[in-house]
Amino acid sequence: MSASESQIFIVDDDDAIRDALGWLFRSRGHAVRTWPSAEALLDSGEIAHCGCLVLDIRMDGMSGLELFGWLREHSHTLPVIFLTGHGDVPMAVDAIKQGAFDFVEKPFNDNELVDRALAALAMHRQQVSKRAALQAIEERVAQLTQREIEVMERVLAGQMNKVIASDLGVTMRTVEVHRARIFEKMGVRSAVELAQVLATRK
């Protein structure tokens, strides 16, 4: 659902700030959910429905940075906006370099924060569709047999069927059959298209 991925998640152990942020976004018509701690969010199993994470750095238990690191390690790539009470340049630099979407100091400007969150949501939507496309390609590749992959590699290397044949110690006909199957499974109609599709990844 587009809606479920458009949700803004807020994690802050300060009730006042959490409520204020929730109100801020809701008042502007944006779906938002709040959590009192990183653990609460993770335990809920709702992380997959998050499109933008607004995260307090300093929290009891798992800190914002720790949650960020955990998400990265578990391939949950989603834009994170850090909130921090005390300006710490090295921490901010590190967070951004590690891929955080933004790093905002309190007190923050309401409009700016909302803008950043919306930009993050937009980026996330892009990432999701891009990932879906890559995922689709990988699934197709996964359908290929080992032999077909060997043939495909050589096709992509520009080798002619007869070269591939002698290379693999089989006849040209066999290569042709594999080739046809590869095209079929990969949903393309020529080696050129295949190259285009596979060039998308990597």
Site residues (CB under 8 A) for its own copies? 84, 87-90, 92-93, 96-97, 102-103, 105, 155-156, 158, 188-196, 199-200
Residues 6+ apart with CB under 8 A from 59: 11, 12, 13, 37, 38
The span from the CA of 8 to the CA of 5, in Å, is: 9
* Chain center to CA of 74: 11
The span from the CA of 166 to the CA of 195, in Å, is: 22
- The interface mask with DNA, positions 140-169, x = CB under 7 A, is -----xxxx-----------xxx-----xx
The site that binds DNA (CB under 7 A) totals a number of residues, namely: 23
Contact (CB, 8 A) for 41 and 76: no
92 binds, among its own copies, DNA, none (CB under 5 to 8 A by kind): its own copies
Residue 12 binds DNA (CB under 7 A): no
Least distance to its own copies, CB of residue 178, Å:
16
Residue 172 binds DNA (CB under 7 A): yes
CA torsion, points 145, 149, 151, 153, in degrees to nearest 10? 180
By beta-carbon proximity to its own copies, the closer residue of 71 and 194 is 194
Residues that bind DNA (CB under 7 A): 145-148, 160-162, 168-174, 176-181, 183, 190-191
